[in-house]
Structure 1
Amino acid sequence: MRSGSNNSQSAIDFVVQLWQQHQGAISRTLLANEADPEARQDLKQDIFLALHQSAARLQAAELPRAYLFRIMHNVTVDHIARAQRHKWQPLDDETQQQMLQDCPSAEVAEKQQSQQLMQAVRRLSPANRQVMLLAMEDLDAPEIAEILQISHGAVRVRLNRAKTELMEIMQHGR
């Protein structure tokens, strides 16, 4: 029984290590999808719980990073669906600006650019937003296809549409 316990602990340690390695991506996903700090904390806990519950499968996955993003994506989609049923408010510009100001490691120019980009990304259609967020995390088309469970061609089409929509938003403030 002890070896089963060790395997379980090893899988949990793997999840914790993966969580720490991708903490920036997780934080950006949380910020891009949830305005309310308390709801964002709930989403973070839901993601970690889902990762914990999938620890053994995650550790055994051929592409653990892609599997991590799939879990984050699925939990976030469920969270957004619940939020729409409860009509939670999107992140307002003032709150976003305050959150960026509270980030001690970023320079002012980076904060402003990040804020503008996140505001524009938040305005993307849901399908375009999800593919753009994954691309912004340096995931390639095959990884995105695996996470979203769509074809590579569909990923390329969505990325092109997302880039076009994002450029329009950035240029015209749509």
Structure 2
Amino acid sequence: MRADDLGRDQGFEALVAEHGPMLRRIAGSYEANPEVRRELEQDILLAVWRALPRFRGDAPVRAFLARVAHNRAVTHVSREAAAPRRSPLDEALPSGEPTPHDRVEAEDLRERLAAAVRALPLSLRQPASLTLEGFSPAEIGQMLGMNANTVSIRLTRARAELRALMNPEASR
């Protein structure tokens, strides 16, 4: 192993330590199946590893990583859409670990939000998931190649759709 490879490995590990949770959340906004989501997370990390030498510093590294992750996730979604459908696992299988009630409720809310984000059209999903990661409309516009006003309009539409998806009784 060369010395510059070692430095690259340490730099990559530092980036993953700092931005890994964001990359996992982005993967989760595109994939519901936990096993497939873990594979997507690995694909995203590989894509980040491969893309890092091309990082020029034009944007914050966080934005660069999010863009790589979203691009990889969009490719994943298009491949999954073309793949044959799988049958789901039986929900009645017993769990190996019991969880406290509050944790279940919090997880349910996160899952419902992730499912609602996945249900959005791609044009709304991208700005919505990036907003959930704390990016501003201007930063999102730069990442997605559109102006901040367009991003803001899409975010307004995404919020309205998310409200309806998260609380269907209120929209009746």
Distance 2:84 2:122 in 1: 16
Against the structure 1 CA distance between its residues 88 and 157, is the aligned structure 2 distance closer, same or farther, given a 3 Å change threshold? farther
TM (norm. structure 2) is 0.78
Shift of 1:13: 2.3
2:81 paired residue number: 84
Number of matched pairs? 165
1:26 paired with 2:14, answer: no
Shift of 1:32: 2.3
SS at match of 1:19: helix
Q: Does the 8 A contact of 1:8 with 1:56 survive in 2?
A: no
The unaligned stretches of length 5 or more in structure 2 are none
CA RMSD of aligned residues (A): 3.2
Distance 1:58 1:22 in 2: 16
The unaligned stretches of length 5 or more in structure 1 are none
Shift of 1:120: 2.0
Given candidates 28, 53, 56, the residue that maps to 1:56 is: 53
Distance 1:103 1:140 in 2: 35
1:160 paired residue number: 156
Against the structure 1 CA distance between its residues 84 and 20, is the aligned structure 2 distance closer, same or farther, given a 3 Å change threshold? same
Larger-gyration structure (1/2): 2
1:75 paired with 2:79, answer: no
SS at match of 1:150: coil
Distance 1:35 1:147 in 2: 24
Shift of 1:164: 1.0
Against the structure 1 CA distance between its residues 62 and 11, is the aligned structure 2 distance closer, same or farther, given a 3 Å change threshold? farther
Q: Does the 8 A contact of 2:23 with 2:44 survive in 1?
A: no
1:140 paired with 2:136, answer: yes
Shift of 1:7: 4.2
Distance 2:59 2:27 in 1: 25
Q: Does the 8 A contact of 2:32 with 2:115 survive in 1?
A: no
1:10 paired residue number: 7
| Aligned AA (1:139) | F
Distance 1:38 1:109 in 2: 22
TM (norm. structure 1) is 0.77
Given candidates 88, 107, 111, the residue that maps to 1:111 is: 107
